[in-house]
Structure 1
Amino acid sequence: MNTHLDLLTGEAAAGLLDAAVATAGGELVDWRVRQVDHRPGSTTTVAYRATVRWDGVERSETLGASVGRSRDGRKPGVVTLSDGDATVAVWRFPGDPALPALPRAFNPAAVEELLAGLGVGPEARADPELKVRAYRPTRRAVIEARAASARVFLKVLRPRKVADLHQRHTLLSRAGLPVPRPLGWSDDGLLVLSPLHGTEMRSAVRNGGRIPSPAEVLDLLDRLPADVRDLPRRPAWSESAEHYAGVIGAALPAEAGRATDLAGAVVARLAERGAGADPTHGDLYEAQIMLNEGRITGLLDVDSAGPGHRADDLACLVAHLDVLSLVTGSDPAQTERAARMRRLAADYAAGFVAAPGSRGADLSDLAARVAGVLLSLATGPHRVQERGWKAATSRRLDVVAAWLDGSRLGGTRLAPSGAGSG
């Protein structure tokens, strides 16, 4: 039994949230789990979408709760509660105890002052509109700030990580990579980034628009400077296969054995290659690439850039595309899209394998790394509390197995015909 996971996602969570909201003078009307980050043996953090009544007026709120972070209870705005066995820290967004810069990044007056420091004039910076683009409780948040003639992205991280990320953006920007330019940062974990032009590749992928060919993706990776090799090494998704198998087993015990076996197979295959020394992005997939009329104009989220195997970047893109094929339902449009996503993943894999020399990847190695990334993505349905997440998790494990045994590659051609053709 996963006591902490059950505590924060089961019926007991209602009492914890109700008590925390009442301490601030509100009344919990309803709630649902929105996101789960469970790390067996370490911490469990959950985000909730809740309706709270304040002085008779109901408002939608994001709440967070965490077990296993002993220092959180000493932070301002955090309510500490105990059920007798575990101590839980509960907060209301933006008062995340691990992200001290978040309240400032989500405060219009503070952002207006920040824009002034960047040289934006009074009329151009007045009354900025703030929109949450991403939020992973205790880990990171991204806020888009728009004013009359100014637009920036405020990335909030744990304070110890911000200087490193600023360095990465500076390095890649100076090397001519189309990454957001760093405009400033603060010790409390706030990094200000310039916007990029274009739309996410994910939109083109889903809508059948023009997308980069495998060769164009490889060209982008060729532009990573050699200095990326000197950045701290971070494990590739595939290298953490055993960790993700543990996360899956904790959430879905019925699949624990299969997840462990699949992770073991991935680790065994990767052991043959050792550590890589290629400059890598570290988390390359369709939502991280910006396009304009099918051409690459931007590269996002360089947090994991560093030395590694290029094949891990290629596998990450293939795996994410393959996950998009795992849609459910009998709608003909969904069925057609699923088939197109699977073909697209196979075509990219084929294109990467067919690339000459060190630009591409060995097929067997690429397949193992795709399987490793898919194993990490198999935690997704539970993390975001997708309806039918148990079945969705099992389907993803089926695809992991299919990449390892080669059956997912049955229709792969050695010369891609779909990618890049629009």
Structure 2
Amino acid sequence: MHSGANDRVPTPSRTSDLHLLLGSSARELVAAVLGASPFPAAEVRSVRPMSVTVQPSGAALVRYAVELGMPDATVVRETLVAATGSLLPRGAAVVEGDIDARQIAVGLWRWPNDPALPALPRLLDPHRLRSLLASADVSGEHPPIVRVLSYRPTRRAVLEITTGEQRLFAKVVTPSQLPGLRDRHDLLVQCLPVPRLLITTDDGLALMPALPGSSARTALRLRDPLPGPAMLEDVLDRLPAALTGLPRRSDHRRSAHHYGAVLAMTVPEEGHRVTTLADAIADADVGEHPIVPTHGDFYEHQLLTSGGQVTGLLDIDTAGPGHRLDDWANLLAHLSVTGTPQARRWRSEILWHVRDRFRMDDLCPRVASTLLGLATGPFRTQRAGWRERTRQRIDLAEHWLTSP
């Protein structure tokens, strides 16, 4: 693999896993998978990282786009994943070796055979998919067309299924996550426009119909009407009280330290700055706030809108107990990163609404923490110029902490 100036592999002391997965040895790992695949005679033409996850421990996970040259001169494109340390799921094929005077094990798999997401292959198998749709009373008159919308290896996948004029979404999670997902949908569908589950399977699959409208992110891009802050507040007010009985997620302080440590590994030249920033976020006095039902990942992509009305609330997997400010901070952070004139106007409108209800000193550290998390995104998605994009997001986090 070749790396440009913006794509150099990070070089701090605990990134030997990244050096292995992003360096020239990536081709050898891919060849190890192909040796047991239907393409043992294929030539590896290119190996390109599409997404990279790294933990403060040094554990890493990389999803590759691979081009294979076949003996008949055709080209086959494959998706492969490699993982190390705590990110290595049980059931992956493992290759072991020595690197930097220590033994390392790398788990490998080919799409869609993710060992942590056993339901995924059935959606790509036409016969099994038709059987699934039939059990959900979906008409089999038209052959289903499947489109992959997102794939986070070992964590989740979302696929769009179109059959005739009917549009469905399949969410695949780890089997252990399915009961919580099912419970949240059962709770929220009674009081909010969330998708009802048509069918779930014990191996981690949930099938649901499409809701009307398009995401608020799309509305921002097209300059369509957006829901006002009072309408968003109403959505949050309607979250059921029973959510407060669910397990609580990490708060903004722990998240800041986690993402600060990840950034220090992937952009080591910013290590002191992000560590200092994470400490300042964690040390800030943010007051006492009641525990209330929260969405947990409330931002424009989770809101479906039409004509300025909210028509759907998505990705409720994270719903649970928290502070109302957590949801507002998450939305404001995402809009700060988007940075378009329409997003700035909407953010300003929302900020005035929040200012009337909470102290800015309580809000700003939460926004800054979310922005530290978003700063890990450019490296994770391997976007062109990811280093500069990362710095810009760190700058935003610093700005929010001091003068929003």
Structure 2 unaligned residues grouped into runs of 5+: 1-12
CA deviation after TM superposition for structure 1 residue 59, in Å: 2.2
Which of 365, 372, 375 is equivalent to 2:372?
A: 375
Which of 273, 290, 296 is equivalent to 1:282?
A: 296
After superposition, what is the alpha-carbon deviation per residue over 1:161-207, rounded to whole angstroms, capped at 9, x for unaligned? 11111110111002x21111112212211112221111010011122
- Correspondence 1:54-133 to 2 at 5 A: 54-56=70-72, 57-69=74-86, 72=89, 75=91, 78-84=92-98, 85-123=103-141, 126-133=142-149
Do the aligned residues in 2 keep the contact of 1:21 with 1:28 (CA within 8 Å)?
no
| Corresponding position of 1:207 | 222
Q: Is the deviation greater in 247-256 or in 13-22?
A: 13-22
| Corresponding position of 1:323 | 337
CA deviation after TM superposition for structure 1 residue 238, in Å: 5.5
Do the aligned residues in 2 keep the contact of 1:184 with 1:192 (CA within 8 Å)?
yes
Within 1, Cα distance between the matches of 2:120 and 2:285?
38
- 1:250 matches 2:265: yes
- 1:49 matches 2:65: yes
- Correspondence 1:204-353 to 2 at 5 A: 204-237=219-252, 239-269=254-284, 272-273=287-288, 276-325=290-339, 337=340, 339-353=341-355
Do the aligned residues in 2 keep the contact of 1:108 with 1:130 (CA within 8 Å)?
no
Within 1, Cα distance between the matches of 2:306 and 2:348?
24
Do the aligned residues in 2 keep the contact of 1:242 with 1:264 (CA within 8 Å)?
yes
- In the alignment of these two chains, the number of paired residues is 383
2:296 partner letter:
G
Do the aligned residues in 2 keep the contact of 1:289 with 1:300 (CA within 8 Å)?
yes
After superposition, what is the alpha-carbon deviation per residue over 1:70-112, rounded to whole angstroms, capped at 9, x for unaligned? 974x73xx54223323111111110111111111122222111
Secondary structure at the aligned position of 2:115 is classed as: coil
Within 2, Cα distance between the matches of 1:295 and 1:187?
35
2:256 partner letter:
A
CA deviation after TM superposition for structure 1 residue 237, in Å: 5.0
The verdict on how the C-alpha distance between 1:311 and 1:15 changes in structure 2, with shifts beyond 3 A counting, is same
Within 1, Cα distance between the matches of 2:274 and 2:88?
33
After superposition, what is the alpha-carbon deviation per residue over 1:12-63, rounded to whole angstroms, capped at 9, x for unaligned? 2122112322331233221211101101216311111121234533122221
User: What TM-score results when the alignment is normalised by the length of structure 2?
Assistant: 0.90
Which of 394, 401, 404 is equivalent to 1:397?
A: 394
Within 2, Cα distance between the matches of 1:108 and 1:147?
12
The sequence identity of aligned pairs, in percent, is 40
1:346 partner letter:
S
Within 2, Cα distance between the matches of 1:37 and 1:86?
17
Within 2, Cα distance between the matches of 1:396 and 1:186?
39
| Corresponding position of 2:193 | 178
Do the aligned residues in 1 keep the contact of 2:252 with 2:282 (CA within 8 Å)?
no
After superposition, what is the alpha-carbon deviation per residue over 1:226-251, rounded to whole angstroms, capped at 9, x for unaligned? 11111221124564110000000011
Do the aligned residues in 1 keep the contact of 2:286 with 2:365 (CA within 8 Å)?
no
Q: Is the deviation greater in 310-319 or in 36-45?
A: 36-45
1:117 partner letter:
S
| Corresponding position of 1:20 | 33
Within 2, Cα distance between the matches of 1:280 and 1:70?
28
1:233 partner letter:
R
CA deviation after TM superposition for structure 1 residue 313, in Å: 0.2
Secondary structure at the aligned position of 1:23 is classed as: coil
Do the aligned residues in 2 keep the contact of 1:106 with 1:143 (CA within 8 Å)?
no
Within 2, Cα distance between the matches of 1:318 and 1:239?
19
Within 1, Cα distance between the matches of 2:166 and 2:346?
37
Q: Indicate the RMSD between aligned Cα atoms, in angstroms.
A: 1.9
CA deviation after TM superposition for structure 1 residue 10, in Å: 1.7
